[in-house]
């Protein structure tokens, strides 16, 4: 049974139902993200033992082209359908399918032709970019699942896609396919996810361009909304390009591994981002005041970040070489800067960005993202020759601070609340705990034992600091987390 047959559209849900689905959505997305990160960690561990930093750098080039093509092809039309009050018709979903498939084909063809002229790296890029049209076919199904807030189905699809990618990649690389196995795995993941999305949502929809002229309002919002993901990709890949040119593919490979590893603690924010936009759209449609909600989300995100990030970052100097080998040790040097920037910007953004986008103000979000990108790329290019990989972290932190200021001011003007205020005390705790445990890890002997000890020290200091400085917020966050768990249902014993 697909989503349109089994679920009520979110526009018909009550406030309590929206809240309930949002909370369970956070649970499902977090669990799925945890599974995906575990699969990715094991897969990357195996691949890092078989491939070199230069190989990862080559794949990073292909990933750059794929992400850029995805951002262009998406167009934000799906987000416009998620945000609007009325549910999409099946004919509209077919038209959406046709428009995005046409755009994807127009993007992929020239990129493939150009890439094939650049040897092995270009051929890898061409293979990876071919996954784009397949991925675009998922959009109608993901729109329906997001509107109905059926996050369990989305989580299942994402986990299955991740599993198929790493199973294929590790197997083919081990059999001698080298980096080509990693590249072709992107096609396997795209196909697996697309088939599952269709089965769990609206079924297979034949693409159509009929009625495309009626998409004007969606295009207007979508272009402004999609500017942020596009700018996000440009800034991330701009850093990759500058790193490759100024530092070489080896440094790019180190940064690629570091950026993947930092996704582990970023999981604390990912679920809130995923659930936030559809939920905030429904809340605003119901006329509820968004200010208190924004502050609650920021407060809880900051508490979770203060518990997670110090432990992870502090363990990295010993953990990375122990797991991946000594040649990857320098990847740990960039993580403290990226960790601090994520705690600050991530905590503010999970509530504020969902509100600004749902309230029809995606333009300011794009401006903030672009500003971050300019600062990050410029400082990386300027400092990389003298600082090495740490330059990427310094640029990231400076850019994040400026974006956080822009987002905070925009939210204050629009909603009358300052998202930075609930962040201050958890941030102070996280900085103290992470710095203390990091110093202990660097000063100690190498190996897993030191990594575990430093991680435990970082978590203990964070938890103790939050008990002292943020007791009520910590209790509220823990109660919410335990409340998301489904009740344990035990079979009753029959009376004899």
To the nearest 10°, report the CA torsion of 366, 372, 376, 377.
Answer: 30
In 3-state terms, the chain is what percent helix, strand and coil (to 5)? 85, 0, 15
Of 235, 158, 194, the closest CA to residue 392 belongs to 235
Task: Give residue 25's pLDDT.
Answer: 66
Cα–Cα distances in angstroms (integers) from residue 169 to residues 33, 44, 65, 257, in the given order: 19, 10, 19, 16
Structure tokens at 466: 């939050």
Task: Give residue 492's pLDDT.
Answer: 43
CB-based contact 226:76 (threshold 8 Å): yes
CB-based contact 73:104 (threshold 8 Å): yes
Cα–Cα distances in angstroms (integers) from residue 70 to residues 131, 244, 322, in the given order: 10, 22, 35
Q: What is the mean pLDDT of each successive set of 10 residues along the chain, which is 496 residues long?
A: 47 60 67 75 82 78 77 68 77 84 86 86 89 88 82 85 91 89 90 91 82 71 72 82 83 84 75 71 76 86 90 91 84 92 90 82 87 94 90 94 94 90 92 94 89 93 92 81 49 41
The span from the CA of 255 to the CA of 330, in Å, is 9
CB-based contact 172:164 (threshold 8 Å): no
Show Cβ contacts of residue 200 under 8 Å, excluding neighbours closer than 6 positions: 2, 3, 141, 145, 153, 156, 157
Domain locations in the chain as residue ranges: 1-237, 289-484
Of 194, 192, 266, 255, the closest CA to residue 37 belongs to 266
Task: Give residue 5's pLDDT.
Answer: 42
């Amino acid at each position: 049974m697909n989503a349109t047959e089994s679920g009520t559209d979110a526009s018909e849900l009550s406030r309590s139902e929206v809240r309930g689905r949002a909370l369970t959505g956070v649970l499902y997305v977090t669990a799925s993200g945890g599974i995906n990160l575990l699969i990715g960690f094991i897969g990357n561990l195996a691949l890092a033992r078989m491939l070199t930093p230069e190989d990862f750098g080559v794949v990073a080039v292909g990933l750059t082209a794929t992400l850029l093509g995805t951002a262009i092809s998406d167009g934000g039309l799906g987000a416009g359908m998620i945000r609007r009050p009325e549910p999409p018709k099946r004919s509209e979903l077919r038209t959406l399918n046709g428009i995005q498939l046409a755009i994807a084909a127009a993007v992929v063809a020239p990129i493939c032709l150009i890439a094939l002229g650049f040897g092995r790296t270009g051929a890898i890029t061409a293979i990876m970019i071919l996954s784009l049209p397949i991925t675009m076919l998922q959009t109608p199904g993901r729109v329906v699942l997001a509107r109905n807030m059926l996050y369990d189905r989305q989580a299942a699809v994402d986990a299955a896609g991740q599993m198929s990618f790493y199973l294929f990649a590790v197997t083919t690389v081990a059999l001698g396919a080298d980096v080509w196995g990693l590249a072709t795995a992107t096609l396997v993941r795209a196909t697996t996810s697309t088939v599952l999305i269709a089965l769990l949502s609206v079924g297979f929809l034949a693409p159509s361009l009929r009625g495309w002229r009626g998409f004007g309002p969606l295009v207007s919002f979508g272009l402004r909304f999609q500017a942020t993901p596009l700018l996000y990709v440009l800034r991330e890949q701009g850093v990759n390009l500058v790193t490759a040119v100024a530092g070489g593919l080896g440094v790019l490979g180190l940064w690629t591994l570091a950026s993947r590893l930092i996704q582990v603690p970023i999981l604390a924010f990912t679920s809130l981002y995923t659930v936030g936009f559809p939920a905030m759209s429904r809340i605003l449609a119901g006329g509820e005041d968004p200010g208190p909600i924004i502050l609650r989300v920021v407060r809880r995100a900051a508490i979770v970040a203060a518990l997670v990030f110090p432990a992870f970052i502090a363990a990295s100097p010993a953990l990375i070489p122990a797991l991946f080998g000594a040649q990857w040790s320098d990847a740990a040097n960039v993580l403290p800067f990226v960790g601090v920037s994520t705690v600050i910007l991530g905590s503010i953004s999970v509530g504020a960005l969902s509100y600004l986008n749902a309230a029809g103000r995606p333009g300011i979000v794009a401006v903030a993202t672009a500003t971050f990108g300019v600062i990050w790329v410029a400082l990386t290019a300027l400092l990389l020759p003298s600082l090495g990989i740490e330059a990427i972290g310094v640029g990231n932190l400076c850019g994040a601070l400026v974006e956080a200021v822009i987002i905070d001011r925009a939210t204050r003007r629009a909603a009358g609340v300052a998202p930075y205020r609930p962040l201050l005390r958890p941030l102070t705790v996280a900085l103290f705990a992470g710095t203390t445990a990091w110093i202990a890890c660097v000063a100690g002997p190498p190996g897993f034992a030191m990594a575990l000890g430093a991680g435990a020290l970082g978590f203990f200091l964070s938890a103790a600091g939050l008990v002292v400085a943020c007791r009520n917020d910590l209790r509220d966050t823990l109660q919410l987390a335990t409340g998301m768990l489904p009740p344990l249902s035990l079979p009753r014993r029959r009376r004899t």
